[in-house]
Amino acid sequence: MGPAFMPAPDAAVLGERADLMIRTLGAISAEPNRLVRGFLTPEHRAAADLIGQWMRTAQLEVSEDALGTVRGHWPGTGSKRLLIGSHIDTVIEAGMFDGPLGVIVGILAAEHFAKAGRNLPFGLDVLAFGDEEGSRFAKTLSSSLAVAGQFDAERLELTDAIGVTLRQAITTFGRNPDDVAAAAYGRDTAAAYVEVHIEQGPVLEHRSQALGVVTAIAGQTYINVEFLGEAGHAGTVPMLLRRDALAGAAETTLLAEKMARDTQGEVVATVGMLRIPNAAANVVPGNVALIVDIRSGSDEARRKFVDTFKAEIRALADRRHLGVTMTDTRNVATTPCDPALQDGLAEAIRATGGEAIRLVSGAGHDGMAMAKLCPIAMLFVRCRGGISHNPAEYASPLDMGLAVAALIRFIENAKF
Ligand code: HGY
Ligand code: MN
Ligand code: MN
C-alpha cells in the first residue's frame, strides 16, 4: 500500500511546475511566431515525446497507441483504472492551455501517488490525445474515440488539405493503422474518465472561483451551407439582376447571430469558416460555402433552432434567386457528466477552499468520446477574460496548482 504518510500537495509549488511545463510544451509549434500543432504532425511527435518523458520522470509506465495517444500508467491493487486526460493538438494560432493543461495536471496528480509508492484500489492512466481540435482532418476526436472503442475504420480514408489520408499520416507518425482496435479499453477496465480543462469562458473569473465542476458538454450541430448564384462582372451587372452568393452567405451569418441572440444564451451560433472559390474583387461571387457551428446545453433547443434556421435560409435563398444546399456534418448530443463524479469533484474543490460552482461547457472536449466508454467528469480552471483559441489564453500558476490539489483529493476519495 506504500507509506501511510503522504505530503499534502503544495498548490503553489505544483502550479509553478505546471506553468513551466505548459510553456515548454507551448514552444513546440509548426510555426515560429504562433502556436500550431496538428494531429500526427512532426510537432505532435515532438510533443508526444516530451509528454512521454515527463510521464517516465513521474514514474509512470509509458505506452503509445496507433493514433499517437501517449499513456502514463500507475498500477492499482485492482484491475479497474481511472482515466485522466485531455488533448495536445491545437487550433491555428492557439493558446497554450487548451488541452495541455489537462494532461499536465493529470501527470502531476498521478506523480503524487507514484512517488509515494501509494497503490490505490484502482490504477491511474493519464492520456494525451492528439486529435481533439479537428484542425487537420474533417472529423475530429479520432484518438479518444479509438480509446473508447468507437473508432470507425472509414476514418482512415479521410484526407487532409494536401490529400494525405489518416492511414498514411499514422504510418508516417511511426504507428500501424492495423493496430487501431488495440487502443480500446475494455468496459470492465475503464472505471471513469476525468478531464481537467481551462474553462475557455468568463464564468469562473466572474464568480471569483479558481475551479468549477462541469455538468454537461453542450451538444453541437455543424451545417455546411453552399449558395449557388451567378458569377458576374462587378461593374456591369445591375444590382437588381444579381444572384450574389456572398450576399446570401452574409445574410445567413447575420441571421445566425440574430436568432442566437434572441435565445438569451440558450443557443450560440457561429460562422467561423467561409469559402469563396476563385474570389476576385471585380467579380460578383457565384459560389460561396460556409460552416455554421450551433451549440446548446439543451438538445431540444438546438433541434428547434436548426429547423427554424434552415427554413429561414431556404426563404432567403428564394428571395435572392440562389440555389442552396445544406449538409449536417456534425450532430453531437449534449454529453452529461456523471452526477456522482461531479459530487466528488465538488467535494475536492471545497477542500481546496472553492465554492464548487457548476456550469455547462460550451466547448467540446474528448469527454464527448470517452462518455461512450465510461462515466465522465470535468474540472474547469479559471480562464483570464474568458479568452481561448487565442494566444492571449491564460490560467494562473496558482489556479493550475489548485487544480492538481483538487484532482489529488478527488482521486484519494474516489471509489471504483
Ligand atoms: O470546438 C470546440 O469546442 C473544441 O475546442 N474543439
Ligand atoms: Mn479547443
Ligand atoms: Mn480543448
In which order are the strands placed within the sheet that holds 287-296? 267-275, 287-296, 219-228, 323-332
Q: What is the mean pLDDT of residues 251-277?
A: 97
121 CA → ligand 2 middle, Å: 33
Residue 5 within any structural domain of the chain: no
Check pocket membership of 141 for ligand 1, CB cut-off 6 A.
Answer: no
283 and 321 Cβ atoms separated by less than 8 Å: no
Confidence band, pLDDT 50/70/90 cuts, at residue 5? low
pLDDT tens-digit readout, 131-185? 999 989 989 999 999 999 999 999 999 999 999 999 999 999 999 999 999 999 9
pLDDT at 132: 97
Q: Give the nearest ligand 1 atom to 363 CA.
A: 3
Check pocket membership of 332 for ligand 1, CB cut-off 6 A.
Answer: no
Residue 342 within any structural domain of the chain: yes
Q: What is the distance between the alpha carbons of residues 389 and 170, in angstroms, rounded to a whole number?
A: 26
Q: What is the mean pLDDT of residues 369-385?
A: 98
166 CA → ligand 2 middle, Å: 20
360 and 374 housed in the same domain? yes
Domain, as residue range, for 196: 11-217+334-413
297 CA → ligand 1 middle, Å: 14
Check pocket membership of 199 for ligand 1, CB cut-off 6 A.
Answer: no
274 and 139 housed in the same domain? no
Cα Rg of the chain, angstroms: 23
Confidence band, pLDDT 50/70/90 cuts, at residue 198? very high
Within 88-226, where are the H helices? Answer: 100-114, 142-147, 166-173, 203-206
209 and 224 housed in the same domain? no
Q: Give the nearest ligand 1 atom to 388 CA.
A: 5
82 and 149 housed in the same domain? yes
Which residue, 332, 348, 374, sits at the end of a domain?
332
Q: What is the distance between the alpha carbons of residues 216 and 212, in angstroms, rounded to a whole number?
A: 12
Q: Is the pLDDT of residue 3 over 60?
A: no
Residue 177 within any structural domain of the chain: yes
Confidence band, pLDDT 50/70/90 cuts, at residue 377? very high
Q: Is the pLDDT of residue 396 over 80?
A: yes
pLDDT tens-digit readout, 15-26? 999 999 999 999
Least confident of 3-17, 104-118, 138-152, 292-306: 3-17
**Mean pLDDT, the chain, as a whole number?**
96
Centre a 10 Å sphere on the Cβ of residue 53 and count the other Cβ atoms it contains: 12
Q: Is the pLDDT of residue 304 over 90?
A: yes
173 and 244 housed in the same domain? no
162 and 152 housed in the same domain? yes
The grid coordinates of residue 235 equal 461593374
| Stretch (H or E) spanning 341 | helix 339-351
245 and 191 housed in the same domain? no
pLDDT at 8: 76
Q: Is the pLDDT of residue 339 over 60?
A: yes
pLDDT at 9: 84
Q: Is the pLDDT of residue 128 over 50?
A: yes
115 CA → ligand 3 middle, Å: 29
328 and 342 housed in the same domain? no
Which residue, 289, 315, 332, sits at the end of a domain?
332
Residue 3 within any structural domain of the chain: no
Q: Give the nearest ligand 1 atom to 200 CA.
A: 5
Centre a 10 Å sphere on the Cβ of residue 372 and count the other Cβ atoms it contains: 13
81 CA → ligand 1 middle, Å: 26
Q: Which of 90, 133, 136, 222 to mutate to test the pocket of ligand 1 (most atoms within 8 A of CB)?
A: 133
Stated pTM of the model:
0.92
Instruction: Give the residue, by CA position, lying nearest to ligand 1 atom 4.
Output: 364
pLDDT tens-digit readout, 220-231? 999 999 999 999
Domains in the chain: how many in total?
2
Confidence band, pLDDT 50/70/90 cuts, at residue 1? very low
Residue 356 within any structural domain of the chain: yes
The domain that contains 345 carries what CATH number? 3.40.630.10
Q: What is the distance between the alpha carbons of residues 284 and 230, in angstroms, rounded to a whole number?
A: 7
Instruction: Give the residue, by CA position, lying nearest to ligand 1 atom 6.
Output: 133
Check pocket membership of 132 for ligand 1, CB cut-off 6 A.
Answer: yes
Of all ligands present, the nearest one to the C-alpha of 390 is 2
Check pocket membership of 364 for ligand 1, CB cut-off 6 A.
Answer: yes
251 and 266 housed in the same domain? yes
